[in-house]
Structure 1
Amino acid sequence: MIERRVEMKNETKSIVTIIEEVCEDVCENYCEYRNTIDDYGECDVQRESGECPLDRLN
């Protein structure tokens, strides 16, 4: 049990970091517009409306 606490303590991340990682994962793997990303990292939704729905989480 003590070993697990040490492992968890070493893997502690901020909430912001976790949210950013989840948003990136959703964008890259699950978003229906993931195949429309250009060289600047913007998809069709961002180019048309300027705002990604995942930005609300950040």
Structure 2
Amino acid sequence: MGKVFVSFDESEQLLLKSIYYDEDPDEALEFVLKHIIPKVKKDMSCLANTLSAQKG
């Protein structure tokens, strides 16, 4: 699997900084599940559609 780039809006960046300073593992997991995983899945599905179109 290649690299994945994820962008965050300003509110997500502030939340991420807060998690970093608080060192709260539960909040960190919640952030990953709510903000990162959906973006990665979206990017991967778009990439999969592009690759399958190139094969056919």
Q: Which has the larger radius of gyration?
A: 1
Name the structure, 1 or 2, with higher relative contact order (CA <8 Å, separation 6+): 2
TM-score, normalised with respect to structure 1: 0.29
Higher helix share: 2
